[in-house]
Chains A and B, each alone.
Chain A
Amino acid sequence: MSTISTDTHQHAGPHDADHGHHHPPAGFKRWFYTTNHKDIGTLYLLFALTMFFIGGLMAMVIRAELFQPGLQLVQPDFFNQMTTVHGLIMVFGAVMPAFTGLANWLIPMMIGAPDMALPRMNNWSFWILPFAFAILLMSLFMEGGGPGFGWTFYAPLSTKYSGDSTALFVFSVHIMGISSIMGAINVIVTIFNLRAPGMTWMKMPLFVWTWLITAFLLIAVMPVLAGTVTMVLTDKYFGTSFFDAAGGGDPVLFQHIFWFFGHPEVYIMILPAFGIVSSIVPTFSRKPLFGYASMVYATSSIALLSFLVWAHHMFTTGMPVFAELFFMYCTMLIAVPTGVKVFNWVATMWRGALTFEVPMMFAIAFIVLFTIGGFSGLMLAITPADFQYHDTYFVVAHFHYVLVTGAIFSIIAAAYYWLPKWTGHMYDETLGQWHFWCSLISVNLLFFPMHFVGLAGMPRRIPDYALQFADFNALISIGGFAFGLSQLLFLWVIVKCINGGKPATNQVWEGAEGLEWQLTSPPPYHSFTTPPDVK
């Protein structure tokens, strides 16, 4: 796809020579003052990993309480706070920052740029996040507890019936949004403006394409989320009635605005995953990606459709029949471009010279399990069927299949795939395989039975349940603990890989193609100070 002379990074520009850019400064300043896309990428990834474990601990609390029917470990109020903050942390603290970290590390290397287009703003975007989540976590220790209204913070739960911590929740979401918007602007500008000569649109790696579209979605919907939380704030504290019928507003309005943000948001959490899988599958199939152009068009159409389907989250809330039909058909339409993607991944593997290293294992698991999540999504899209499934564990099963075995699996796959490039060492393949198989088995034990209890009528977001669900819930909890423990293996692999291991070659993987594999492992501090020629 491209040829470059790998020594281009030796020719430093005048400014680089002046300031000694090729070596990171030592000490805390390196991380606090950095303008380097790799350092910032590392910070994002480590932050996401930390949040993944904190959010994971909350999931363990949830599963421990649900191990048996009845109330044994926590109060219902605290249980609600755990489900709420677990969701918020995993969405805004783990998945999104992990993807942004990958974007930071990879996009400049993939398009032949020296860094991100706006490096200082890049650092600001990152450092807002730890503070935002500090505020959110602090609110858990306030008098009256943290937010307990679910990550979707439906009004009037978040307005009339919420605690004093709501204001902290609102402002922490505000600054998270600022961080996401700045990060997204940076990604878009980098891709538009810093591609190496010859890197035309249809030569861009799919990870870059999917992130470009994701960034557009982020800039379009994060401000809408900011507007939503602002209305929650004024409704709760300043006497407005956006979501109160007595004042002429409507609680349903909340759901419309929230899901206008919320549905594109779920694609924000999956499109970069598509890009990752589209990078990994061709490498280990030793074949170019099947249907590159159709992948680009499919991603774009998924993004466009994501603005037209928000009310499928609200079928039981009530709306005119024509609206229910419109949103049902639009939602089902998304299965078409998604099907194109799954087909292309499978077609890429067809008659390839396959090998099954850990990144490929996670990518294949992604394809299978994400598709299961996609199918349960199709079931949920059928309006009359959704009347039955709505707010049951079936929904919980659905979105955990797309988010855990979808988004998180792709992030883990990406970590294994690019760790040798980032650190210069190969990870421990045996440990990695253990991590994969433990995760795969436990995650299905965790989430698959949720379909059954959901279809049988077990509602979500409750600390207690009817006796008939006891056996499945015990199994689910065992799966949950096992999945949580399995991730400690992941941590071990990462630490081990950072500290040493077999040296990685530049190309790392036999079938890997793209500009990032032509740099050294680990790559120079500034990837391409003069642009490579992409042929």
Chain B
Amino acid sequence: MAKTYQHYYVPEQSPWPIVGAVALFLLALGAGHFVNEVTRDKQGHGEYMLLAGVALLLFMLVGWFRNVIDESMGGLYSDQMDRSFRQGMSWFIFSEVMFFFAFFGALFYARMIAMPWLDGESNNAMTAEILWPEFSAHWPMTKTPGGIETTAMPWQGLPLYNTLILLASSVTLQFAHVALEQGKRLQLRLMLLLTILLGASFLGLQAYEYMHAYQDLNLRLDSGIYGNTFFLLTGFHGLHVTLGAIFLTVIWLRIMLKNHFTAHNHFGFQAAAWYWHFVDVVWLCLFVFVYVL
């Protein structure tokens, strides 16, 4: 191993990490205050702090990535550095998997264990009789033990189209990758653009679905455990699609404007692609466990 070790690039001092730390500080402190202010109707400046944090974080990301891209294009990186980036990105995606795992875990627990118990299964017959005599276990839980009613989101129609759209976007992204490796730049540009457009239309349809849920189905974030898991899982997934789409757009702009990435040297592209395939896989799990089953 490590034959290319000879000159591992250790970057100079950089202002970006401390800027990023201050950004996260403003973001966390601002969000903490903002949450209290919006939900408790209190006066305060949380939202400004939160926005300042987001702005500073974006500023930091642009500056930091610009440094890294300049170093990479300047030929300072070795194959070994490339491996560090690849491994780092893979472990980051693993951490994201575990984040979704927590919410899927909550969904499975609520469905397979908590709901039947509330209806008296296991040794809970008397408890159910005394606490929730009206409740009967059905998934999707359209009526909670406390009596909140809602309607389930069907999987046919829009969610199915969204599934096809995301699957198609993974395929077009794969075509873009092949094109990059074969040096077909035009195909690369078109396929990547198509991927981004598919991602954007997914997000548009998702937004439409949310409006539909709130206005027509009375399916809300606070509609009991079904609405909770529905909105947090699809919401965090949508957030990740948004990030992934921004990531791909930056890559696309680098290709269009600066003609970056070669057949052999394209970690940035690769990382964005991995991330995109990851959100795709999460969606498939979502589609099966949140919508269909």
Q: Which residue of A lies closest to B94 (CB)?
A: A219
Indicate if the CB atoms of A245 and B118 lie closer than 8 Å: yes
Query: What is the minimal beta-carbon distance from A459 to any residue of chain B, in angstroms?
Result: 25
**Which of the residues A171, A221, A253, A257 comes within 8 Å of B31, measured between beta carbons?**
A171
Q: How many A-B residue pairs have CB under 8 A?
A: 255
Indicate if the CB atoms of B13 and A118 lie closer than 8 Å: no
Q: Which of A32-46 contact B (CB under 8 A)?
A: 32-35
Indicate if the CB atoms of B88 and A127 lie closer than 8 Å: no
Query: What is the minimal beta-carbon distance from A279 to any residue of chain B, in angstroms?
Result: 23
Q: Which residue of B lies closest to A120 (CB)?
A: B14
Q: Which residues of A contact B222 (CB under 8 A)?
A: 238-241, 247
CA distance A220 to B95 in the complex (A): 6
Indicate if the CB atoms of A234 and B232 lie closer than 8 Å: yes
Indicate if the CB atoms of B29 and A135 lie closer than 8 Å: yes
Q: Which residue of B lies closest to A530 (CB)?
A: B6
* A260 within 8 Å of B (CB atoms): yes
* B16 within 8 Å of A (CB atoms): yes
Q: Interface readout for A95-133 with B: 1 if CB under 8 Å, 0 if not?
A: 000000000000000000111011111011001101110
* A414 within 8 Å of B (CB atoms): no
Which of B12, B21, B103, B131 has most chain A Cβ within 10 Å?
B21
CA distance A399 to B93 in the complex (A): 33
Indicate if the CB atoms of A189 and B88 lie closer than 8 Å: yes
Indicate if the CB atoms of B6 and A249 lie closer than 8 Å: no
Indicate if the CB atoms of B225 and A248 lie closer than 8 Å: yes
Prevailing SS type, chain B contact patch: helix
Prevailing SS type, chain A contact patch: helix
- If A13-B7, A530-B6 touch, whether A181 touches B95 (CB-CB below 8 Å) is yes
Which of A16, A134, A168, A241 has most chain B Cβ within 10 Å?
A241
Q: Which residues of A contact B221 (CB under 8 A)?
A: 234, 238-240
Q: Which residues of A contact B28 (CB under 8 A)?
A: 131-132, 135, 168, 171-172, 174-175
Q: Interface readout for A214-257 with B: 1 if CB under 8 Å, 0 if not?
A: 00000111111011101101100111111001111110110011
Which of A32, A134, A197 has most chain B Cβ within 10 Å?
A32
**Which of the residues A14, A237, A253 comes within 8 Å of B110, measured between beta carbons?**
A253
Indicate if the CB atoms of A241 and B228 lie closer than 8 Å: yes
- If A14-B7, A114-B8 touch, whether A192 touches B87 (CB-CB below 8 Å) is yes
CA distance A531 to B6 in the complex (A): 7
Indicate if the CB atoms of A256 and B8 lie closer than 8 Å: no
Indicate if the CB atoms of A196 and B13 lie closer than 8 Å: no
Q: Which of B1-34 contact A (CB under 8 A)?
A: 1-3, 5-18, 20-22, 24-25, 27-29, 31-33
- If A117-B84, A167-B31 touch, whether A197 touches B1 (CB-CB below 8 Å) is yes
Q: Which residues of B contact A189 (CB under 8 A)?
A: 84, 87-88, 91
**Which of the residues A121, A131, A247, A529 comes within 8 Å of B22, measured between beta carbons?**
A131
* B62 within 8 Å of A (CB atoms): no
* A188 within 8 Å of B (CB atoms): yes
Q: Which of B32-90 contact A (CB under 8 A)?
A: 32-33, 35-36, 39-40, 64, 76, 80, 83-84, 87-88
Which 5 A-B pairs rank lowest in CB-CB distance, beginning with the nearest?
Answer: A227-B102, A239-B222, A246-B146, A248-B225, A127-B21
